[in-house]
Amino acid sequence: MTPHGIPRRATCGWALVCLAFLSCTEDATAAPAPQAVRALAQRVLPGRADSFVFEAVPAADGQDVFEIESREGKVIIRGNNGVSMAMGLNWYLKHTCRHHVSWYGDRLSLPAPLPMVKPKVRRVAWARYRYFLNYCCFGYSLPWWDWSQWERLIDWMALNGINAPLSVTGQEAVWQAVGKRLELTDEQMRAFLAGPPYLPFGWMGCLDGWGGPLPQSWIDRHEQLEKKILARQ
């Protein structure tokens, strides 16, 4: 039993439900990869995105791949999925233009016209899954972020080839929903959930209730934020 009268087996069950919930996205109508990466390019390179064309190609023996070449004054970037195409865009910015997108600032004063690519570049990823973030990030900085900050981070992750980011924003809503199904009272649930800076320590089983209770507005807001994050990722 936890100090708040919640069985330990229940907390394990909630964790499994959270993993199932966070392993899929609800948005089945997301834009196809070329359109999605074009939208990314418009955010990262406002006014210059029309210089790039994004096209789909098959995977390379099951591995992610991107290709870059020039054609009729355009930079053609191909990939087997959206992340691969974004990797190709970032490779071009770094290695052909000598520019970059970074955590704290961008260097993106691109020349006009853009440098052409000769010969064609082709790169195959050696790792199928590229992981990013850890639980403590969701206590230090990320609990205070809004969608504009998350959108920027998701773009940065795609540009750097991340395809398996940890995504646990809003899981308090899942815990709350499962708690109700287990006939736990709102008082028990609110006492159990930790405050925002301590949420990772609660998820790791180190504590519960510390710095709480969480306002319902927090839980609802972060549930909606996570849905946007998952739909974009």
Q: Please give the model's pTM, rounded to 2 decimal places.
A: 0.84
Q: What are the pLDDT digits (tens) for 129-162?
A: 999 999 999 999 999 999 999 999 999 999 999 9
Burial 177-192 (b: 16+ CB within 10 A, else e): ebbeeeebeeebbbbb
Boundary residue ending a domain (128, 146, 166):
128
In a domain, 75, yes or no: yes
Q: Are 194 and 216 within one domain?
A: yes
Sheet strands (E) in 104-207 = 106-107, 121-124, 131-132, 164-165
Boundary residue ending a domain (128, 160, 176):
128
Q: What pLDDT, on a 0 to 100 scale, did the predictor assign at position 190?
A: 82
Task: Determine contact, residues 75/117, Cβ cutoff 8 Å.
Answer: yes
Boundary residue ending a domain (111, 128, 145):
128
Q: Are 154 and 188 within one domain?
A: yes
**What is the CATH classification number for the domain harbouring 79?**
3.30.379.10
Low-confidence ranges of the chain (pLDDT < 70): 1-31
Q: Are 140 and 225 within one domain?
A: yes
Task: Give the whole-angstrom CA distance, residue 132 versus residue 169.
Answer: 14
Task: Determine contact, residues 40/155, Cβ cutoff 8 Å.
Answer: yes
Domain hosting residue 213, numbered range: 8-27+133-232
Q: What pLDDT, on a 0 to 100 scale, did the predictor assign at position 22?
A: 37
Q: What pLDDT, on a 0 to 100 scale, did the predictor assign at position 29?
A: 31
Q: What pLDDT, on a 0 to 100 scale, did the predictor assign at position 7?
A: 53
Q: Are 158 and 114 within one domain?
A: no
